[in-house]
Amino acid sequence: LAAGVALAAPNSPAAPHPRLAAYKARGGPGQVERRQRLLLLQRERRLDYVNHARRLAEDDWTGVESEGEDAEEEEMDVDAGKKLPKRYANQLMLSEWLVDVPLDLEQEWVVVVCPVGKRALVVASRGITAAYTKSGFCVNRFPSLLPGGNRHNSTSEKVYCILDCIYNEAKQTYYILDVMCWRGHPVYDCQTDFRFFWLFSKIQEEEGLGEKSRINPFKFVGLRNFSCSSDSLCKVLAMDFPFEVDGLLFYHKQTHYTPGSTPLVGWLRPYMVPEILGLTMPTTVLTVKPDYAGHQLQQIIESKKSKKLAAEKGHASSAAAARNGHYELEHLSTPQPANSPEGQDEAVSQMEN
C-alpha cells in the first residue's frame, strides 16, 4: 500500500530549504501544481485501508506478496543480509519544505508545533504496543493504555490503534502527531481536520494515557493544531511550550493520511516563518535566527568541495554524485545545545522528519 501511494520528495527536509540554500534547485512541477494533482487523485483513488490497518496491527501479511517486490530488490541491488524490513517501512506521511506558500494558507491549512524527537510508527494490538522507526525497525515493545496496547484492554482482536508519533527520549513521551486507526476504525481516507478532531476527542476518553505508570511506562500526549492566520501564527511563535520546539508542520485540511512524502504537508523551522511566509512578527525565542542556520550553509559548501575532491581522486561513488549534482549531509536539522560536547563539533539531527 505504501509503495503504491508514496511520492518522491523534491523538497525533502533532509536537505536545506531551497529558498535559503546556496544552490539552485532543479526545475520541475511546482508544489502548487502537485498539491492540486494529489487532492484530485485522492478523491478518485480508494485503497483498501481496512485490510492494510489490520495487517499492520496483526502482523499478518498472508497473500500480499507482490510480483513487483523481486524486481524492486533487483533494482536496489542490496545484499540479502542488509535488506531493511519492508512491512513497517515507509508507513508515515512525511513532509516537504514549505516552498510555494499556498494562497489559501489561512483558510485551508493548519499548523502543528513539533517537539524535538524521532518519528515513530506506534502500533497497539493484541495486548502489546510496538514502536517502529520510519525505516520499519521495531525499536521497542511495551504495554500502554492505548486501546489494544496491554493485555487488560485487548479482549478483542479488533481493538487496535495505529499512530504517527514523535518520540522524545528525554521526557519518555510519545507526542501523537496524527492517527491512522483507532479501536480498529481506520481513518487513512479521512481529511486532516477530521482526523485531528477525532484524535483529540479519543485521547480525552483514555484515562491515564498522559501519565507514566507500570502499565503505561511512556506518556502519550496529543499535539495541538492551530489556525494559519497571521494573528494565530504570531501568537503560536510567542507561546511557551512544554518541550523543545524543533519545527512547524503545515497540513492541508483536505489531505488524507498518505504514506510517503507529500507537498500537502509542509515543514519550516520557526525562524524561517517570517521570511518564507512574508510575515512581520515580533522577535521571540523561536523566531531568532540560530547560529546553526549559517553553519548549515557552510556545511553545504564544504560537503560539495570534499565530494568534488574525492571525485578527482577517482572514487566512483563520489564521482557519480558529482556528475548528477546530488549530495547529502548527515546533519541538517536542529543541533545539540551549543554548550554540549556534540554541539561544539557538529550540528546533530534530532528529528527524523
State the CATH number of the domain containing residue 151.
Answer: 3.30.470.30
CA atoms of 130 and 165, how far apart (whole Å): 12
Domain tally, the chain: 2
**Whether 279 and 306 share a structural domain:** no
Please tell me whether residues 303 and 180 are part of one structural domain. no
**pLDDT score recorded for residue 138:** 95
Q: In the prediction, which pLDDT does 307 show? A: 66
Residue among 113, 74, 88 nearest 285 (CA): 113
Q: Looking at the structure, tell me whether residues 188 and 326 fall in a common domain.
A: no
Domain stops at, among 259, 288, 317: 288
Q: Per the domain annotation, does 214 fall within a domain?
A: yes
Same domain? 163 vs 132: yes
pTM for this predicted structure: 0.73
Range of the domain at 256: 31-288
Confirm whether 5 is domain-assigned: no
DSSP β-bridge partners for residue 260 = 93
Together in a domain, 66 and 141: yes
Say if residue 282 is in the same domain as residue 153: yes
Strands of the chain (E only): list them. 93-97, 109-115, 118-125, 128-132, 138-142, 160-168, 173-182, 185-186, 219-222, 225-227, 245-252, 260-268
- Cα-based angle 167, 226, 283 (whole degrees, multiple of 5): 90
Of 81, 104, 251, 83, whose CA–CA distance to 177 is shortest? 251
What is the per-residue pLDDT for 93? 96
User: Do 185 and 272 belong to one domain?
Assistant: yes
- Computed over its alpha carbons, how large is the radius of gyration of the chain? 21
Residue 14 falls within a domain, yes or no? no
Please report how many Cα atoms fall inside a 13 Å half-sphere around the Cα of residue 72, on the Cβ side. 10
User: Among the three residues 268, 288, 308, which one is the final residue of a domain in this structure?
Assistant: 288
Of the candidates 225, 139, 136, the one whose C-alpha atom is nearest the C-alpha of residue 178 is 225
Q: What end-to-end distance do the CA atoms of the chain give, in Å?
A: 20
CA dihedral sign of residues 268, 272, 277, 280: positive
Tell whether 257 and 120 lie within a shared domain.
Answer: yes
Q: Which helix (H) or strand (E) holds 224?
A: none
Compute CA distances 24 → 16, 20, 296, whole Å. 11, 10, 16
Which residues of the chain fall below pLDDT 70?
A: 1-11, 14-29, 63-85, 154-157, 294-304, 307, 314-353
Question: What is residue 28's predicted lDDT score, i.e. its pLDDT?
Answer: 55
The reply to whether 333 falls in a domain is: yes
| 126 and 100 in a common domain | yes
- Are residues 195 and 267 part of one domain? yes
pLDDT in tens, 241-262: 999 999 999 999 999 999 999 9
Residues 308, 311, 315, 318: is their CA dihedral positive or negative? positive
